[in-house]
């Protein structure tokens, strides 16, 4: 049995909800990193001007966050593109 989505199921409102959900996930990830950095700052006070373990941990946390947010953004773009393609195809069909 083939299931096709109607234009109301693939319309801009659903795309917007998906984007908002992914933005919420990104914001949650950023908030988690902020809390993590607060913990790192409490455990490893900044005594040195050069890198050290504290700076390596902080840099790693930011790199991880960039990867998470980047992946989330790529996913959102792919979902929106697929939705647009489905909508376009359904409009062609009738």
Over the stretch 19-57, which tens digit does the pLDDT of each residue have?
788 888 888 888 888 898 888 888 877 766 676 788 888
Residue written as token pair 């795309």: 15
Domain boundaries, the chain: 30-43+51-94
Distance CA 65, CA 72 (A): 10
Reply yes or no on whether the pLDDT at 3 is more than 70: no
Reply yes or no on whether the pLDDT at 1 is more than 50: no
Q: Where are the alpha helices (DSSP H) in the chain?
A: 7-10, 12-43, 52-93
Q: What angle do CA 93, 19, 92 make, to 5 degrees?
A: 10
The pLDDT score that the predictor gives to residue 94 is: 62
pTM for this entry: 0.56
The dihedral formed by the CA atoms of 50, 56, 62 and 66, expressed in degrees to the nearest 10: 120
């Amino acid at each position: 049995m083939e299931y096709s989505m109607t234009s109301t199921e693939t319309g801009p409102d659903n795309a917007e909800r998906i984007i908002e959900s992914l933005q919420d996930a990104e914001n949650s990830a950023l908030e988690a990193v902020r809390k993590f950095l607060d913990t790192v700052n409490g455990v490893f006070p900044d005594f040195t001007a050069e890198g050290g373990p504290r700076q390596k941990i902080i840099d790693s946390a930011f790199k991880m966050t960039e990867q998470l947010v980047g992946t989330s953004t790529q996913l959102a773009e792919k979902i929106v593109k697929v939705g647009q393609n489905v909508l376009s195809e359904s409009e062609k069909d009738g």
